[in-house]
Chains A and B, each alone.
Chain A
């Protein structure tokens, strides 16, 4: 009985529900939108890429898209000006005076004008000119955390931009002149600096936001006036707060609740940032320059594992990837229906020979250096280790020029590197005989944790044995610290990273006898003369001429050999996106983000 009664009740309720349900139609529960996704291997962590710790590709890729530049590198690589943002000109060469002018109508994404206040902040932070002299931050750094302690003096100005008063922006120690219309500033350099055009390439952080947060002034114009006044008067109390906020205020690992921190003046602006997952860039409505983006929304997803990035591309979750180039990635990409673009990274592999501080002492003799250079199987290393990753890879044949950059081809034709294109066992044996040594030992320093370098070492060892060289293993996990230590090794195998084509980054520090990166104890008065000359030469054509001479001198002096430029790989789905054209220099794929265009949407 009971069951029947129950069944009747249940049926009544069910039928009632059925009738009721006819009333409402399903509503849309999803907010439509679309985005173009790019995979990058490291999460973004600081909107200020100028601090000593924030200067990383993961940050600079994003800040590049959110900041308009006075100039930038294209994929050649060559330096291109963006006059729609502003112009810079050299007013005089000696003393070096440079005038930066912001174009009319350039605004931050919150509508505030970009002007001299921003340029002044950029100057004061990069030059460190108002940093309290002889201030040792260590005393006020919490030894546990590295953070500044609460008793950090409030009257100390410290911009943590790694400023060096002897080079780069550190050389602009005098207060720049601000024009009356507040649109331009004129900087006077203490000494001529040939890479002046690579130093202040954008305006950096928004002065009004920094001043608003550091000084507590909400009105943008008043905040900027206060900032200009603080800088011009060297008001230490205010500058200390400004510097402190500049150092720490822009380090966030997820979308800050105060969105004024992500104000931008470039094609894009940050609109969403989920910790460790992705950061979303949306076209900046207030952007007036020439680089108006075609893709309205770009999401950069953080995918560490290279093969995971490949599968995400295959599954359509990302449309562009630029994973670390390995043979596995190359194989996986070859099997897919995607467009793969090979390319180079800024780092190049090379072998430096120790001059008069080598471990075995053999390399004091140029004949033995020459013989050793003859047995290094450069082509074989490229064929066996790089071609599987990048089929058209070639050796890098210049110590100075980046492949593709202006001057590379001319220099390679004449620098003598052709003598070392192929292994010459007979020649090496003859040279060793002439030097009168048998079985000279060459101990090679390289990273013991890097399998590719270990493989290169084995190839060199085998090839050297044929000519009578006893190539031994001086590798260490701590190899970086051993570089340039006298008597520890004979030859070193590692990579230099180039971040620009600036001449002051290359030859002077590397090859001048007093250069900071001269780790081989190379000392040639002629080279010192050339590098000094290069450091004073403003004419780009003459710079190239001098660099060609330097390159030739290095090969003639048996300095060492360059082997290859690190391969880079970019893959994208051409049914979704076009105009991807990776550049060798940072920000690699992002350099033309405004030219990317959606396909079939």
Chain B
């Protein structure tokens, strides 16, 4: 019973916090958000604690038996992602209480962030394809408004592209759902998995899976569908960008992995090769775009695309080693990217700009910020003993296992370019002589300091204590490829 409650609490708690505080004052909304987030964190940690023992557990909502009702299900993969996203959201929202102007906070920022978190939790926990679509729409709707909060011109223009591309992705998702329902008669993911392994391969089912992958690809911003991301992610305040980079594209890749492993137990060679190509091109084009940028938030947006490539690479390898790497990478990249966006937020507060050519000398004025930025940047680039090193090492080992040498070269080359680009950020913003004066007189607000330093320390911890997390990631990867525990938890029986 407790487990069944645990499965819905990550959705209910943030929604309740949003509902109860919407009519209230800003102070109430802020407090409700922090309380709701703490509740969400506790619930998802407990969920992870149960899932970490290797159990897959499910609840049939409204007590309808499995293929007919909506199932919520948690395994190690979803538990791990949920817990890490919850922790990052907690810290980023703490940061935003100080970094986002009060004028914007009043536009129901905190309730919207709660709805976003509820949507993400629902998408991670649901075991039903159509329900996944619904949660995607919930989180998209909240993200549309968060992205255009304040309605500045660049936000509106970037937002239009973001909205248009994501609506196209949603329509493709629906198309895939329709074709899949028409050809199999079910939308429960576990039931779909069981039936697709019995039925012969048919054209509508291939088309359906391709439509679904296309839709997740747009949402995850893979090559060549990533154009909306660098056009929009840098326009809202840095804390919102940090939230998006930790939650949104990651849910896209999560769905790709979840649906992909369940619906394609033995994927055709052509598909995995295509995915490997997409992964490599995503990495390379993303990092090349980043190298050309001098605006810090835009540069980081391109890096989001590049890092998505590593996640897709782990999926495309379709092996325990590859998925282990991808899952570890999920946690690592969400944390490291959030550190860098929060550093950008503090620089923006100090200088009213994040253009690297205008920044400089912050090493002397803000040494803690410089240290946090250094840890986050080197973590992202993958220097030992930080988290990125182990994530990339695992992926490299997995590519060697499959003898995917082009992907190996791409991964290593992109790693090098990432290091170059990260050095550029640190050298330009912190090391070179100051070019423009600091505008903000006040000190770094404690909430922002705590969040940024906390996330930087987390990057360090993920690296130094990589072993337990890697074990969990491997367990999650084994569950994903084996599928039996998942099917049994949802459908019952052998």
A, B bound:
no
Q: Write the residues of chain A forming the contact surface with B, with a CB cutoff of 8 angstroms.
A: none
Residues of B that sit less than 8 Å from A by CB: none
